[in-house]
Amino acid sequence: MKLLKIIFLVIISLVITSRAIAQVPYSIELKQRAYLGEPDAMHQLSVAYRVGKGVTKDVDRANYWLERASEEGNPNAIATMELLGNTTSLSDAKRRELAAVEKHERERLLKAKEEQRLAEERRKQEEQRLAEERRRQEELKKQVKKQTFTANGVSFTMVEVQGGTFTMGGTSEQGSDAKSSEKPAHKVTLSSYYIGETEVTQELWQAVMGKNPSKFKGDKHPVEKVSWDDCQKFITKLNEMTGKNFRLPTEAEWEFAARGGSKSRGYKYSGSNNLNDVAWLDNNSYDKMANIPSYGSTHAVGTKQSNELGLYDMSGNVWEWCGDNWYNYSGIPSNYSSNYVNRGGGWDDNAKQCRVSNRNRRSLDLRGDNLGLRLAL
């Protein structure tokens, strides 16, 4: 009878063990669940250690996790403990050792889970922020008056900027990035005008001029490698085609529009304080896998978020010629008065260059693969 009882107990134990193995084989995820206090996982882990299923066979660890599963109320573990009796006992020293390991791993995993939760929470908050920003931008764009024009079959849109007074130059949101050429900040009053929704594209330049000088080809990419003089010739031909009086924006008109006009929310960049939302610049225009600066390029206009007026790429992509000669805000005569202003930063520039108040100057005959234009009317 004693022998039959032992055989019966062994058979029952093997049945319980085989079922546990079949349900969940050993895995890192199983081990983590056991450390985090799941009774079923504790029992399955004890089985894995007992038979060496996916892990090195370890009787002490098998017995430890069997005890823990039993303590946590797992019925299979309780039944196995009753069947195996004293054969599952651990020394106090071993039990303390394994309990310390369990405590350490549980704390580590709980910390990791909390960090993961916080990261997910931040991700959702960022998604909500972007969704809210997009909704707000769409609402603002509905309130803005636009006009669409066509030249040789290519359409382009001009957006109204209602007149108003603003502070031009290195205002407080620019912080320490503001350069001496942006100072002093000063009040400027403008009448209403229209400005291009996007930079002039290569397809529009091609339609007007019959050629495309750009290095980075793409119909919807901004035209580049155009000098100030080239822009004047383009505008003259465009006006002949349309009967309108397009021109380059003044520097003040450019900055007022970049800041969002009367709808401005005081951003450091055109449309956001998060530059990657609104601009193509050095940290997102290069092929990071290649890690070669020459692999950077312009991008199609209007693919980033717009600013408060629904204007795209006023930060980044290409610098934009203005109609003004360079001058000092301080009134001190400049040695560069024969140069012309360009604004906005380009695909190969850093964040500091893409600020709404940042200024740059170039000679009127210079052509660069990061230099284009935006129309005004």
Average pLDDT over residues 213-221: 96
Average pLDDT over residues 219-247: 97
- 143: nearest Cα among 263, 320, 46: 263
The answer for residues whose C-beta is within 8 angstroms of residue 373's C-beta and 6 or more apart is 199, 200, 223, 226, 231, 234, 248, 320, 321
The CATH number of 141-373 is which of 1.10.760.10, 3.60.150.10, 3.90.1580.10, 3.40.50.300? Answer: 3.90.1580.10
Long-range contacts formed by 138-145: CB under 8 A, 24+ apart: 140/263, 140/308, 140/309, 140/310, 141/306, 141/309, 141/310, 143/263, 144/309, 144/310
Q: Of the ranges 176-180, 238-242, 294-298, which one carries the lowest mean pLDDT score?
A: 294-298
Predicted local confidence at residue 175, as pLDDT = 95
Which is more confident, 19 or 40? 40
164: which strand partners? 190
Sequence spans of domains, the chain? 2-94, 141-373
pLDDT digits (tens, 9 = 90+) for 9-25: 444 544 444 454 444 45
- 101: nearest Cα among 69, 64, 66, 70: 64
Predicted local confidence at residue 34, as pLDDT = 87
Whose tokens are 């081990």? That residue is 31
Indicate the pLDDT class of residue 49, thresholds 50, 70 and 90: confident
Average pLDDT over residues 335-356: 95
pLDDT digits (tens, 9 = 90+) for 103-127: 888 888 888 888 888 888 888 888 8
Indicate the pLDDT class of residue 347, thresholds 50, 70 and 90: very high
Task: Give me the sign of the Cα torsion angle 345, 188, 361, 330.
Answer: negative
The answer for residues whose C-beta is within 8 angstroms of residue 202's C-beta and 6 or more apart is 212, 214, 217, 218, 219, 220, 221, 222, 223
Q: Is the pLDDT of residue 62 over 90?
A: no
Which is more confident, 213 or 54? 213
How far is 67 from 52, CA to CA, in rounded Å?
18
User: What percentage of the chain carries pLDDT values higher than 90?
Assistant: 56
- Under 8 Å between Cβ of 194 and 147: yes
Average pLDDT over residues 263-268: 94
Six token digits for residue 137 = 């931008």
Q: What are phi and psi of 139, to 5 degrees?
A: -65, -45
Predicted local confidence at residue 238, as pLDDT = 98
Residue 51: Cβ within 10 Å count: 17
Predicted local confidence at residue 7, as pLDDT = 45
